[in-house]
Structure 1
């Protein structure tokens, strides 16, 4: 923060009175640039501060928006090689799932969740009961999954309600689903502003598809500097689509050689972090099983 701004926050931006024992200054409600000694001073200075305030709010928002998440919203798990347990909403990778199944078979154990130890249901009704138990407990993951189920059934109103509740409880995937709904207009009126809001909330939480889409939105508006920032962040999280488009934009002159090289290294590191011997064994197991099923057809 500049010396001028430091001066602004140590004195009332309107009347200039300094903060002392009997004078307490309060910050502007939306930015960190100025403080006021009273509501009267705030009101008097509002018109002068409006543009600076608006600019600073945008800067603060971008600081949050373009901060590199440490991982995706699923950590280092590849969504394509992991699943969510309905009984407790925990995520398990295919490697751990297969290792647990082998352990159960070798020890002649009844199949159960490796997290909560609940028995695996033997009927669709049992699975449905487990799912609804988590929904009724306001589990944000279960709420989001129920929203997806209702969406694919065509019950968009119910889907919207489940997604909204899950998003309010902090579920990143639910924000992305709401963005999709505001984009396609199923169950709600199309609203670009709300779509972008939910994409940004999801992207901040590490959702690389949301981040990728934000890059497209900026690119479509010819804001290529911002678009590239988004794609670099999602590439760093291991997103293949983002690294591919960065290579395209490098050829077009929108991405520097150094930035592309750094993104390629980070992308590979993120992909490598999702691998493990157990996960590779599981991938081979599923590949053999798929081939076996194909041969039986």
Structure 2
């Protein structure tokens, strides 16, 4: 018995072609779904960014470049640089979202641990990052980092799935495991994680699955991922994607970029991230 990645039914092996039986569950389709052209669940979910990807102040989608936003440990919220600069111009020097006084560096870890103890999924993920990179006065500890990432992933934090996917794919800090990398990227992508979706396209391309790669890159391009757009363009120039594929990806990309743009963000772009953090 195998589960179909389109209808999600557990079906006898005879319900699949020999080719489909050899595929992993997320991209496997039973013969009935193949004939009907039923789309994989992996391709149906995560085609838009979730509300959690919006700046909590201006309600616009956060830029994909993390240098264009900042994370505040007091409220565990990421705020776009446009709103941060706008708040500073109005004389607000505390957290632009919750108005909490910016904690001293030695207080930061205590604040994080308090939220972790309360079961805050984002705080659990964030503490994992501190162990991963050896920041917030913590020594680098990959075992602890992975444990925290896995806990956060179980609680639905898509960034935790993404980081685990990156670790498993690279294999430099944890044991390389491409199957796990696929699973974590897929979980993140279905939650709307743009870079995870792009990476799935790259992995499928490396495995010779050009059609799947194109589908992934079209989705991530339409969510504002420039490298994905360039990948679709490359496929189009090589005759491996249609003009309609590239045109749709380009229109979606331009729309996503427009949604992430505002006068405040344009003005914030005149400053470097370090200057904004010092404001």
TM-score with structure 1 length normalisation? 0.73
Task: State how far apart, in whole Å, the 2-side matches of 1:155 and 1:126 are.
Answer: 21
Higher helix share: 1
Gaps of 5+ in 2: 55-60, 135-139
Task: State how far apart, in whole Å, the 2-side matches of 1:64 and 1:280 are.
Answer: 37
Partner residue of 2:230 out of 230, 238, 244: 244
Contact in 2 for aligned 1:202/1:210 (Cα 8 Å): yes
Contact in 2 for aligned 1:157/1:187 (Cα 8 Å): no
State which structure, 1 or 2, has the greater radius of gyration over its C-alpha atoms: 1
Task: State how far apart, in whole Å, the 2-side matches of 1:33 and 1:85 are.
Answer: 39
- The secondary structure found in structure 1 opposite 2:98 is coil
CA gap of 1:193–1:262, structure 2 versus 1, over 3 A, is same
- Residue 70 (str. 1) matches residue 48 (str. 2): yes
Task: State how far apart, in whole Å, the 2-side matches of 1:289 and 1:160 are.
Answer: 32
Contact in 2 for aligned 1:112/1:118 (Cα 8 Å): yes
- The secondary structure found in structure 2 opposite 1:92 is strand
Task: State how far apart, in whole Å, the 1-side matches of 2:274 and 2:186 are.
Answer: 40
1:54-96 deviation per Cα after TM superposition (whole angstroms, max 9, x unaligned): 9696338963211252226624111331112101111211111
CA gap of 1:125–1:99, structure 2 versus 1, over 3 A, is same
- Residue 226 (str. 1) matches residue 212 (str. 2): yes
1:185-242 deviation per Cα after TM superposition (whole angstroms, max 9, x unaligned): 3554321111100011111111121111111111112111111000000000000110
- Residue 205 (str. 1) matches residue 191 (str. 2): yes
Partner residue of 1:81 out of 68, 82, 85: 68
Gaps of 5+ in 1: 1-27, 36-45, 106-110, 291-297
- The secondary structure found in structure 2 opposite 1:193 is helix
Contact in 2 for aligned 1:112/1:119 (Cα 8 Å): yes
Instruction: Give the number of equivalent residue pairs.
Output: 245
1:126-183 deviation per Cα after TM superposition (whole angstroms, max 9, x unaligned): 2222222222222222222221221123311011011001101100000011112212
- Residue 90 (str. 1) matches residue 83 (str. 2): no
Contact in 1 for aligned 2:83/2:96 (Cα 8 Å): no
Task: State how far apart, in whole Å, the 2-side matches of 1:241 and 1:254 are.
Answer: 17
Report what 1:133 is aligned to.
114
Task: State how far apart, in whole Å, the 2-side matches of 1:30 and 1:130 are.
Answer: 43
- Residue 116 (str. 1) matches residue 124 (str. 2): no
Report what 1:100 is aligned to.
87
Give the RMSD, CA atoms, in angstroms.
2.9
Query: Any residues of structure 2 matched to 1:144-183 within 5 Å, and which?
Result: 144-153=125-134, 154-183=140-169
Contact in 2 for aligned 1:238/1:268 (Cα 8 Å): yes
Task: State how far apart, in whole Å, the 2-side matches of 1:34 and 1:155 are.
Answer: 41
Partner residue of 1:50 out of 1, 6, 13: 13
- The secondary structure found in structure 1 opposite 2:241 is coil
Contact in 2 for aligned 1:88/1:134 (Cα 8 Å): no
- The secondary structure found in structure 1 opposite 2:91 is helix
TM-score with structure 2 length normalisation? 0.78
